[in-house]
Amino acid sequence: MISKAPAPAPGADTSGDSYLPAHGNGGYRVKHYDLTLDYKVAPNRLSASAVITAEATQALSRLTLDFGEFRINRVLVDGKPAKYLKRVRKLQVKPQKSIAAGSAFVVEISYVGNPRPVGSRWGDVGWDELTDGALVASQPVGAPSWFPCNDHPSDKATYRVAVTTASPYLVAVTGDLVDRYTSASTTKWIFERREPTATYLMSVQVGRYDDIDLTGGGWLARVGAAARRLSVDFGRESGQVESVFATVPQRAAVPPRLRRLFERDFGRQGRMMEVLQRLFGPYPFGEYVIIVADDDLDDPIEAQGMSIFGANHVDGRRTYERLVVHELAHQWFGNSLTVADWRHIWLNEGFATYAEWLWSEESGGESAQSLARTWHTRMKARPADVRIADPGVARMFDERVYKRGALTLHALRAEIGDPAFFALLKAWTTDHRHGLVTTDGFVAMAEAYAARSLGAFFTRWLDTPALPPLP
């Protein structure tokens, strides 16, 4: 079942989001983005076109898209030239003829410029120029840095993305690689994202990377074969080879200088995927891609079917393995199951953090109970001024949302018992696969699996700033 968010309230320039109303727009839903990008690395120059197929949820005399600092060459609506006005990060489009409610329409925008990140209270996010290449990490508001869009997580769409750049560079886009053409000095890479995807989860990576196959068959040899079942030998440590039966094609793009360290740090990737599938249900996409940029990054970031790490997250000692499992868990919690509104962010971060604790327990590290005790003690020392179910825009990414969100899940596990808890997690990911989720929806499903009311429990853990005792 794919759950749908209600259409935003009338008002073309706002999504109605409780935290970020300026991002996203009302009056329509996007069905598909077809993006054609020509990227020159040295000058960081992007020449592009976006063809956006959408459906009007109300009569539209004009519509608005979120868009960054580009020169616009042409705007068409249903093949006819349209008037447009660019204001800060909004592109207002007025078609020649009003669009009737319920009608499908197509907007085509041709543009050129030097892509740069979007400034936000969380720093710069979006398209970022690297020392030699580029990366896109858009959570939560960076998507307009490289394409015109309806930038709200509830408006999930499918994508086709074609990127042309100099042939020495490897290109990775969130989606299945379906074709690749080389001519003279450039290569064109074509990717399709068939699953409904939020704008902030779309990513482009360009760099001089080694292509490391993690499941057998080779990335470029697997064009169009992203759903095969593979039996592989994976991971070498102290002369041992770990045998893993993998159902998910996995690959990595890694700077050559970091390859040996990467093989150590990500040596348990196959086992990690196996464990999370057992705990959360089948991996929700056709492939999983790991990117290690040749520059340092403050934090890793997830995209749809992809996780992006900095060179500083690879040290050959598995120092950051908890972040590796955290980003993988986001493929279920955040990517397949996407929040309908940013106030529900704990459903992304609390679940991914609890996955760290479950992996530690499964892989011979500290138990989830031990980690819960440690973090409960640390959280108790922090001010009690955050409601996890509605932390406020300034605290969307506060550490307490992550850790107390995980503590809520651990307490729920104790409250209803392991059989009901893990059955709940699988039902949660299955019933809302590729859909939208809310806290109320999770509470209702938890009560169904507990076969009783959990109102007092969730009030204590999610709606009360004071930290309850750990069960």
* pTM for the full predicted model: 0.91
Residue in this structure with the two tokens 């599938």, named with its chain if needed: 277
Residues 274-294 have pLDDT tens digits of: 999 999 999 999 999 999 999
Which pLDDT does position 149 carry in this prediction?
Answer: 98
CB atoms < 10 A from the CB of 151, how many?
Answer: 29
Kindly state whether residues 52 and 120 are assigned to the same domain: yes
| Residue 233: inside a domain | yes
In 49-65, which positions are buried (b, 16+ CB within 10 angstroms) versus exposed (e)? bbbbebebbbebebbbb
**Structure-token pair, residue 421:** 């808890």
CB atoms < 10 A from the CB of 124, how many?
Answer: 14
Pairing of strands 104-113, 170-173: unpaired
| Residue 468: inside a domain | no
Kindly state whether residues 392 and 414 are assigned to the same domain: yes
Which pLDDT does position 222 carry in this prediction?
Answer: 42
Residues in CB range of 7: below 8 A, 6 or more apart: 26, 27, 29, 57, 58
**What is the Rg, in whole angstroms, of the alpha carbon atoms belonging to the chain?**
22
My answer on whether omega of the bond before 140 falls inside 30° of 0, hence cis, is yes
Among residues 331, 364, 385, the one where a domain terminates is 331
Whether 52 contacts 107, CB under 8 Å: yes
Domain span at 158: 8-207
Segments of the chain with pLDDT less than 50: 1-10, 217-246
CATH number at residue 239: 3.30.2010.30
Cα separation of 190 and 470, whole Å?
50
CA angle, residues 21, 23, 24, in degrees to nearest 5: 95
Kindly state whether residues 411 and 447 are assigned to the same domain: yes
Kindly state whether residues 22 and 158 are assigned to the same domain: yes
Among residues 276, 311, 331, the one where a domain terminates is 331
Kindly state whether residues 421 and 446 are assigned to the same domain: yes
Residue in this structure with the two tokens 């399709």, named with its chain if needed: 192
Indicate the DSSP class of residue 198: -
Cα dihedral 99, 101, 106, 112 in deg (nearest 10): 80
CA distances to 21, 87, 243, 268, 394 from 14, in Å: 5, 14, 51, 44, 19
Whether 228 contacts 249, CB under 8 Å: yes
Residue in this structure with the two tokens 């850790």, named with its chain if needed: 403
| Residue 130: inside a domain | yes
CATH number at residue 200: 2.60.40.1730
Nearest CA among 195, 200, 191 for reference residue 219: 191
Kindly state whether residues 214 and 190 are assigned to the same domain: no
| Residue 470: inside a domain | no
Which pLDDT does position 5 carry in this prediction?
Answer: 40
| Residue 469: inside a domain | no
Which pLDDT does position 244 carry in this prediction?
Answer: 37
Which pLDDT does position 215 carry in this prediction?
Answer: 82
Among residues 182, 207, 232, the one where a domain terminates is 207
Residues 29-54 have pLDDT tens digits of: 999 999 999 999 999 999 999 999 99
Kindly state whether residues 225 and 347 are assigned to the same domain: no
Kindly state whether residues 157 and 252 are assigned to the same domain: no
